[in-house]
Amino acid sequence: MPTIISRTSFQLPTPPSTSPPMTSRRLSSATTVVMTPPSPTKKIIPWRPPGSWEMPDIIHETWKQKQLLLPKQPTPPPENKLVKPPNMSSPKVRWVYVGKAPDLFPLPPPIRKPPKRHAEFDSKLRKVLPRPKILDVNPKDYYTGTEQVGSGANGAVIRAVKKSNSLPSIQRKQQQQQQKPSKSSCVAIKRCFIEDHDTHHHSYVLRELRIMGCLSHDNLIQLQEACLYDDHLWMAMELMACSVFGLLFNTTVGLSEAMTIFIAKECLQGLVYLHSKNYMHRDVKCENILLGHQGQVKLADFGLATPLTIQNSSRLGTAKWMAPEVVAESPYNENVDIWSLGITMIEMMDRVPPLYYLENSTEIYREILYGKPPTFNFATPSTAMVNILEWILNADADDRPMAKDVLTNIQQFIDQDHLKCAKKSDLASVVQQVFPIHH
């Protein structure tokens, strides 16, 4: 409360400089109110009990007192444990090892299989071909007949007959589901000798298997099954009547121009499909064009085929059918097959290739690079045929057409009646006349 002073005036002492000045207010003429300044604020410390003091746990103490007053009860035994009787305590016996139990029924010794021959090639083979086309039997028990009918880049070709009863029942059912039933059980088998160290040869064999086993076209030979047994790979393919070379060998004259155009068209259809799958053949010739009794035309022997995705400059093929860039070992593309087909068309009409009179490879290569352009030696072709062959047999690979362009151009000449083209039945009658069907 402020102090009230009466009439007599009273003067307070002067406060120190740190405190604020005192203020006063006159209430009336008789009373003067002097207001003292507020004292500075101090920090309030909370109250704490002196010494170390702890609040008693009244609930726990009460419970403990009640437990002391209650009578003691026996503790129950633990679960899943047997309680021993108090008077039946037996001393603990230590376990003693008594040794190995006798072998009343001795196990047979483990069967140790010898390591499989050509295991690395076999694993690659199973990656390339679908499972139904791989045989795991002895092919000598499955095929009969060893008559040789030809030869390929990777081995000889023989004619054989399948014995369907010799296959296991599981594989027989798989083949019946995967393959269409054929009128004849005859197959053409190519046997390739396999050596583990010759991995370069393995790549050519596996490439041929991939093309025949995975690519399907009416003008490409098909693989039926393959089997690796001992040191040989057996490749069973569909059997054809003959090759164009065999047809020419068993006749006295070459094929007509119309027949040549028909066979060339069928080959071009197969090459268009093969090139679209990024492969080139590199060995097109009459010996590798197979004919059927129904007039079928199929390209065969893909042992020298190579992918188009890599740069190719190797001198591979048959010398008299090689393109100039293959002989020169320059980088080349798939139109080398068109050059080989042009030489083959001359061979079909002349019965021999243009350089038939040369045997030395060096002379053949020199003539291909620096000699005259290949042309007919015996046949008399039409003007349209000559024009097509000049276009196909262009030494400059950049100006040489592709298979699709040649097929389109030949069809236009046929439609315009500049070229004559035989029918499939005409070829079938010629093949059946030279190679009769054996029932």
**Alpha-carbon span 82 to 420, nearest angstrom:** 106
* Number of structural domains in the chain: 2
Query: How high is the pLDDT of residue 182?
Result: 46
pTM equals 0.70
Mark whether 278 and 157 lie in a shared domain: no
Query: How high is the pLDDT of residue 23?
Result: 47
| CA-based R_g, the chain, Å | 52
Q: What six digits make up the tokens of 419? A: 């070229």
Catalytically annotated residues: 283
**Contact yes or no for 159/145 (Cβ under 8 A):** yes
Closest CA to 287 of 150, 135, 423: 150
Mark whether 278 and 211 lie in a shared domain: no
Which range marks the domain in which residue 419 is found? 240-439
Query: How high is the pLDDT of residue 220?
Result: 96
Decide: helix, strand or coil at residue 223: strand
Cα-based angle 157, 291, 253 (whole degrees, multiple of 5) = 105
DSSP state of 266: H
Mark whether 319 and 403 lie in a shared domain: yes
Query: How high is the pLDDT of residue 138?
Result: 86
Query: How high is the pLDDT of residue 176?
Result: 52
Mark whether 274 and 228 lie in a shared domain: no
Mark whether 359 and 216 lie in a shared domain: no
CATH number for the domain harbouring residue 396: 1.10.510.10
* AA identity, residue 158: I
CATH number for the domain harbouring residue 198: 3.30.200.20
Mark whether 158 and 244 lie in a shared domain: no
Mark whether 235 and 266 lie in a shared domain: no
Mark whether 251 and 388 lie in a shared domain: yes
Query: How high is the pLDDT of residue 356?
Result: 94
Mark whether 208 and 264 lie in a shared domain: no
Mark whether 230 and 305 lie in a shared domain: no
Q: Which mean pLDDT values do the consecutive 10-residue runs of the chain (439 residues) have?
A: 46 50 48 57 72 74 84 67 58 74 73 80 90 87 77 74 60 50 70 87 90 92 91 90 94 94 97 96 95 95 92 94 96 96 97 94 95 94 95 95 96 95 96 85
Mark whether 284 and 419 lie in a shared domain: yes
> Which segments of 335-382 does DSSP mark as H helices, in order?
336-350, 361-370
